[in-house]
């Protein structure tokens, strides 16, 4: 809300590495000043000329260094800076209220708030599709330049878990939180198997609203009936997908892939699930020894029965005394495996969701419905 109000009044906008997509510009309605001008810094010439802007085809860092030198000694007015601080403080208050709505099932904003609180300063959040990227864009409090990895370009359903795996491989020292809706989870959850096989730790928060709520809500806002956006049986009487609720259990699906699953129906349970993960002992090397006693095999003599060195000698009359076989001393062999490092464990937290509007978000950018 604060950034949107400032953007609406801006007379000059400097775009750095942006494609000015419909999502980030609210379909080009975010900038409302009559004579607004754009300066576009981009390595792609096609993007640098968008919105009839002044193109600056250059590396972003080098361009900012040049602009900073050219604007040395200039600053916005004190009134403008004070207004920006006031709007920012008001929006932070709105975010705090959205994190503590107290709904049951919890609202999506409450889930985001709980994960934001649990994440460390260098941890990374990954998301891609549905209404959640819009909410994250407004609500997530980022504390690190690499802590926010959200795909906006094509609302790519199914990207989240695979993208989170890539982020973790690129930054193994950071915790990676993958926020994914149930509809997007159905598109591609197979990389959970890869994460388990490779010992790559991911924390997946699956929000479950039993359907494709974002596109279903968008359909209704433009006067179109929902179609197949809820997990329902086809009703033989009506011929529509308005029958009973399908027994979909995505948490059980994740468990079948080898992932440790925690279920949460309230925000308190979600926070407790994260605390339980922190209390688990960290990965450590372990070495085990197992004693194995070796015993000689029983031997079979030609023309006779099998008998062991301990079997009694034959008492047949006239038989020569059996040759005494030297008893072999039992030996002990110790099998010592190489140290095995306990593998990192991926976990999934399944949360039931309640879509509710957030006060103050009606001015937010983006075409997807807030909820």
Average pLDDT, the chain: 79
Q: What percent of the chain has pLDDT over 70?
A: 75
Residue 107's closest CA among 137, 127, 132, 129?
132
pLDDT digits (tens, 9 = 90+) for 300-345: 344 444 444 444 444 455 555 556 555 554 443 333 334 334 455 6
Report yes or no on 149 lying in a domain.
yes
pLDDT digits (tens, 9 = 90+) for 186-202: 988 999 999 999 999 99
Both 266 and 144 in one domain: the answer is yes
| Residue 93 CB coordination number (10 Å) | 11
Cα distance between residue 66 and residue 158, in whole Å: 40
User: With the C-alpha atoms ordered 150, 152, 157, 158, is the resulting torsion angle positive or negative?
Assistant: negative
Six token digits for residue 151:
């795909």
Residue 17: left (phi > 0), alpha (psi -120 to 50), or beta?
left
Report yes or no on 328 lying in a domain.
no
Distance of CA 95 to the CA centre of its chain: 21
Report yes or no on 134 lying in a domain.
yes
| Per-residue model confidence (pLDDT) at position 42 | 97
More confident residue, 76 or 355: 76
Six token digits for residue 171:
């930054």
pLDDT digits (tens, 9 = 90+) for 266-302: 999 998 887 765 555 333 222 222 222 233 333 334 4
CATH code assigned at 365: 3.40.50.970
Residue 261's closest CA among 313, 185, 205, 311?
205
Both 25 and 142 in one domain: the answer is no
Cα distance between residue 353 and residue 371, in whole Å: 10
CA angle 238, 242, 246 (to 5 degrees): 130
Report yes or no on 42 lying in a domain.
yes
Domain of 352 in residue numbering reads as: 98-210+248-277+342-371
- Check whether the bond before 60 is cis (ω within 30° of 0): no
SS3 326: coil
Q: How many domains would you assign to the chain? A: 2
Report yes or no on 66 lying in a domain.
yes
For helices 78-98 and 132-139, the axis angle rounded to 10 degrees is: 130
Six token digits for residue 278:
């922190």
Among 9, 41, 74, where does a domain finish?
74
Count of CA atoms in the C-beta half-sphere (13 A) of 318: 0
Cα distance between residue 154 and residue 264, in whole Å: 30
| Residue 169 CB coordination number (10 Å) | 12
Both 270 and 150 in one domain: the answer is yes
Both 190 and 117 in one domain: the answer is yes
| Partners of residue 39 on adjacent β-strands | 14, 54
Report yes or no on 127 lying in a domain.
yes
More confident residue, 221 or 305: 221
Distance, first Cα to last Cα, the chain: 16
pLDDT digits (tens, 9 = 90+) for 8-38: 999 999 999 999 988 778 888 999 999 999 9
Q: How far is CA 63 from CA 41, 48, 54, 208, in A?
A: 7, 13, 13, 44
| Per-residue model confidence (pLDDT) at position 317 | 53
Both 193 and 108 in one domain: the answer is yes
The answer on pLDDT for 61 being more than 80 is yes
Q: Alpha helix locations (H) across the chain?
A: 2-9, 22-25, 45-48, 60-70, 78-98, 108-118, 132-139, 159-170, 182-187, 191-198, 213-221, 250-256, 267-279
Say if CB 350 and CB 263 are below 8 A apart: yes
Among 74, 108, 125, where does a domain finish?
74
Q: How far is CA 323 from CA 214, 287, 316, in A?
A: 89, 46, 15
């Amino acid at each position: 809300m604060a950034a949107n109000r400032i953007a609406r009044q801006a007379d000059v906008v400097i775009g750095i590495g942006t494609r000015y997509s419909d999502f980030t510009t609210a379909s080009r309605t975010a900038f409302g000043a009559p004579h607004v001008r754009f300066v576009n810094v981009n390595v792609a010439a096609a993007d640098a000329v968008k919105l009839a802007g002044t193109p600056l085809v250059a590396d972003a860092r080098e361009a900012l260094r040049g602009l900073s030198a050219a604007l040395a000694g200039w600053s916005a007015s004190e009134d403008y800076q004070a207004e920006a601080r006031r709007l920012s403080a008001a929006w932070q208050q709105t975010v705090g209220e959205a994190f503590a709505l107290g709904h049951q099932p919890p609202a999506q904003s409450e889930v985001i708030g709980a994960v934001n609180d649990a994440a460390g300063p260098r941890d990374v959040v990954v998301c891609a599709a549905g209404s959640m990227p819009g909410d994250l864009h407004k609500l997530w409090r980022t504390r690190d330049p690499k802590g926010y990895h959200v795909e906006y370009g094509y609302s790519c359903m199914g990207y989240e878990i695979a993208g989170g795996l890539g982020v973790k491989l690129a930054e193994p020292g950071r915790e990676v939180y993958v926020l994914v809706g149930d509809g997007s989870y159905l598109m591609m959850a197979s990389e959970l198997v890869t994460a388990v096989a490779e010992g790559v730790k991911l924390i997946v928060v699956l929000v479950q609203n039993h359907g494709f709520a974002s596109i279903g809500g968008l359909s209704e806002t433009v006067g179109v009936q929902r179609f197949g956006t809820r997990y329902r049986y086809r009703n033989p009487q009506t011929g529509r997908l308005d029958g009973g609720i399908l027994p979909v259990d995505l948490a059980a699906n994740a468990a079948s892939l080898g992932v440790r699953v925690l279920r949460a129906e309230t925000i308190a349970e979600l926070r407790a699930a994260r605390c339980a993960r922190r209390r688990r002992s960290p990965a450590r090397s372990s070495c085990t020894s197992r004693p194995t006693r070796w015993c000689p095999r029983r031997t079979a003599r030609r023309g006779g029965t099998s008998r062991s060195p301990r079997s009694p000698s034959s008492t047949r009359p006239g038989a020569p005394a059996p040759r005494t076989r030297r008893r072999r001393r039992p030996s002990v062999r110790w099998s010592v495996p190489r140290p095995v490092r306990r593998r990192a464990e991926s976990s999934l937290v399944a949360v039931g969701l309640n879509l509710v509007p957030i006060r103050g978000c009606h001015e937010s950018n983006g075409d997807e419905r807030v909820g």
